[in-house]
Amino acid sequence: MRHQQGRARRALAALATALSWAGLLAGAAGCTADGSGPLGIGGPPGRPTAVEDAIRVTPDDGGKGVRPGERLRVKVPDGRLEKVTVTRSQDAQDTTVAGHIAGDGRTWKPDDDKLALAARYTVDAVAVDGDGRRSARHTTFTTYVPDQRFIGYVTPENRATVGTGMIVSLAFNRDITDRAAVERAVRVTAKPAVDIRAHWFGKNRLDFRPERYWKPGTEVTVDLALRDVEGAPGVYGLQRKTIAFTVGRSQVSLVDAAAHTMEVRRDGELLATVPITAGAPKTPTYNGKMVVMDMLEVTRMNSQTVGFGGEYDIPDVPHAMKLTDSGTFLHGNYWSPESPGEVNVSHGCVGLRDVKGGGADTPAGWFFDRSLVGDVIEVTHSKDKTVSPDNGLSGWNMAWKQWKAGSVLK
């Protein structure tokens, strides 16, 4: 009797074991870290089983230096994908990669088909076959890390309030050969909306402006999606950022070099007529529209830095407002106080009467305190050529049709 009971217990134990294994094989969806468990049965630890192999992921698991031209895909030959989660780790930040499963359930692909550079991708996928059995796959790969990068230095600064003549300008630290790819990656928009167009000056500068000066109160946004854009062979962009600025009131000042005056108009109304001194006959001031690029309470001006000899070296020029890259300024003049309104004596700059150290109640101080970066200074009746559109932010001197022709996107 005792012998029969022992055989019965052994039979029940065997049956229970068989049922347990059948349950695991039929429906379990878990997996242990070492590859054993329901999805690791029958294979060495850490390697995908035949069930896991049914989920095909490209690029390959463990891939390194994957190029941006390769495509990320998750596929099953039959059954359907139940869930796919892809995470991108880049610059110490983890981002979930948006994507979708195709209508037939067999393929997943990202919404943005271009892989990021210098990133680690993690793919987790779950699939169900025709018999209702689930399988899972976990893979990782890393993408190419470029040796060379480019960035764009943006004018104006983020959150600035600027004059109505501001031009958005990007100066790149490397020559751009694929200008179309870079231009597509920069988007400039405005509220209220206005037509804004791009213009390339050479291989490393891209400017944007509307047909006419901005309307006061306009909010402008510059979206840079340059990250991983190949601007030249093997040279990839580094930036993904947004810059925003606001257009303030309108102020346009008209310099008459022959009459030695400057009319300052605010929102179309004449504020004042200020005496000025412009460039002397041998060193005249440029004609044309120039935009205030920078404002300095005091600065040093040395003739040798702008292509002259040793004609001057003034360590404390007050109320200096930069107008061109070549060295044209509108500034206070304390060393020749009798010149403004009477005679042109400068080396190409526009001078306003001032005192040493800069006076708040002088013409130069008055104008400086009422000016913004982005204000327009227009010079007329000077015996020089019109300033080049790429000298500073002087693109307003180019006709709109010609400006639009400077874009490489048609």
CB 324 within 8 A of CB 387: yes
Which pLDDT band holds residue 302 (cuts at 50, 70, 90)?
confident
**Domain of 154, in residue numbers:** 148-248
- Phi and psi at 408, nearest 5°, equal -95, 0
Q: pLDDT value at position 27?
A: 37
Tell me whether residue 325 is in a domain. Answer: yes
Q: For residues 188 and 170, give the distance between their C-alpha atoms in angstroms, rounded to a whole number.
A: 12
Q: For residues 309 and 284, give the distance between their C-alpha atoms in angstroms, rounded to a whole number.
A: 16
Q: pLDDT value at position 37?
A: 36
Those residues whose C-beta lies under 8 Å from the C-beta of residue 142, and which sit 6 or more positions away, are 63, 64, 65, 66, 119, 120, 121
Residues 255 and 362 in one domain: yes
Residues 385 and 257 in one domain: yes
Residues 137 and 153 in one domain: no
Which pLDDT band holds residue 131 (cuts at 50, 70, 90)?
confident
Q: For residues 255 and 78, give the distance between their C-alpha atoms in angstroms, rounded to a whole number.
A: 77
Q: What is the mean pLDDT of residues 280-302?
A: 94
- Burial letters 261-296, b for 16+ CB under 10 A, else e: ebbbeeeeeeeeebbbbbbeeebbbbbbbbbbbebe
Residues 385 and 270 in one domain: yes
Q: Does the annotation count 349 as an active-site position? A: yes
Q: What is the CATH classification number for the domain harbouring 225?
A: 2.60.40.3710
Number of domains the chain contains: 3
Q: What is the CATH classification number for the domain harbouring 56?
A: 2.60.40.3780
Tell me whether residue 349 is in a domain. Answer: yes
Among candidate residues 248, 269, 300, the one where a domain is terminated: 248
Tell me whether residue 400 is in a domain. Answer: no
What three-state secondary structure class fits 347? coil
Residues 264 and 244 in one domain: no
Q: How far is CA 168 from CA 156, 163, 326, in A?
A: 6, 12, 19
Residue 25 pLDDT > 80: no
CA-closest candidate to residue 110, choices 94, 88, 134: 88
Which is more confidently placed, 318 or 20? 318
Q: What is the mean pLDDT of residues 359-376?
A: 97
Residues 243 and 308 in one domain: no
Q: How far is CA 225 from CA 183, 243, 389, in A?
A: 10, 12, 26
Residues 83 and 195 in one domain: no
Residue 24 pLDDT > 70: no
**From the candidates 31, 331, 347, 381, which is the catalytic residue?**
331
Tell me whether residue 22 is in a domain. Answer: no
Residues 259 and 350 in one domain: yes
Q: What is the mean pLDDT of residues 79-85?
A: 96
Q: For residues 79 and 394, give the distance between their C-alpha atoms in angstroms, rounded to a whole number.
A: 63
Q: Does the annotation count 31 as an active-site position? A: no
Tell me whether residue 262 is in a domain. Answer: yes
Q: pLDDT value at position 310?
A: 59
- Phi and psi at 305, nearest 5°, equal -80, -10
As to burial, measured by CB atoms within 10 angstroms (0-12 exposed, 13-18 middle, 19+ buried), residue 87 is middle
Q: For residues 325 and 310, give the distance between their C-alpha atoms in angstroms, rounded to a whole number.
A: 20
Among candidate residues 114, 143, 172, the one where a domain is terminated: 143
**From the candidates 31, 260, 347, 349, which is the catalytic residue?**
349
Q: For residues 121 and 141, give the distance between their C-alpha atoms in angstroms, rounded to a whole number.
A: 5
Residues 126 and 206 in one domain: no
Whole-number average pLDDT of the chain? 88
Q: What is the CATH classification number for the domain harbouring 373?
A: 2.40.440.10
What three-state secondary structure class fits 199? strand
Tell me whether residue 179 is in a domain. Answer: yes
Q: For residues 1 and 398, give the distance between their C-alpha atoms in angstroms, rounded to a whole number.
A: 110
Q: pLDDT value at position 304?
A: 62
CB 48 within 8 A of CB 139: no
Residues 158 and 116 in one domain: no
Residue 367's H or E segment, with its range, is helix 363-369
Residues 303 and 382 in one domain: yes
Q: For residues 390 and 171, give the distance between their C-alpha atoms in angstroms, rounded to a whole number.
A: 11
CA-closest candidate to residue 318, choices 344, 356, 345, 349: 356
Q: For residues 90 and 232, give the distance between their C-alpha atoms in angstroms, rounded to a whole number.
A: 22
Tell me whether residue 330 is in a domain. Answer: yes
Residues 187 and 132 in one domain: no
Which pLDDT band holds residue 137 (cuts at 50, 70, 90)?
very high
Q: pLDDT value at position 327?
A: 93
Q: pLDDT value at position 18?
A: 35
Residue 21 pLDDT > 60: no
Among candidate residues 248, 278, 308, the one where a domain is terminated: 248
Tell me whether residue 408 is in a domain. Answer: no
Residue 54 pLDDT > 50: yes
